[in-house]
Amino acid sequence: MTEMNAPTVTATEVVLPGKVEPSGLRLVQRALPPPAAGQALVRVESTAVSFAETAMRPAGTTASPPSRSCPATT
């Protein structure tokens, strides 16, 4: 498929605009550029949020939270 007849593809993203409650998350749609030579476009139907991502949201950080599966250390 050439760039001239490539369909316009949009992505829907969940944006975390700082430290907010879940109701403050925003859905944003943006157009994706066509894949370059050697690249592929993959359609994702669904995804999930991990425990670590859930724990990071209230803190407003990208630092890793402590693991619940590891024993406490001092």
Which contacts of 16-21 are long-range, i.e. CB under 8 A and separated by 24 or more positions? Answer: 16/57, 18/60, 19/58, 19/59, 19/60
Which helix (H) or strand (E) is 58 found in, with range? helix 51-59
User: What pLDDT does 73 receive?
Assistant: 47
Q: What pTM was estimated for this model as a whole?
A: 0.49
Reduced to 3 states (helix: H, G, I; strand: E, B; else coil), residue 9 is: strand
Mean pLDDT score of the chain, rounded to an integer? 74
Tokens 């139907």 belong to residue:
45
More confident residue, 46 or 59: 46
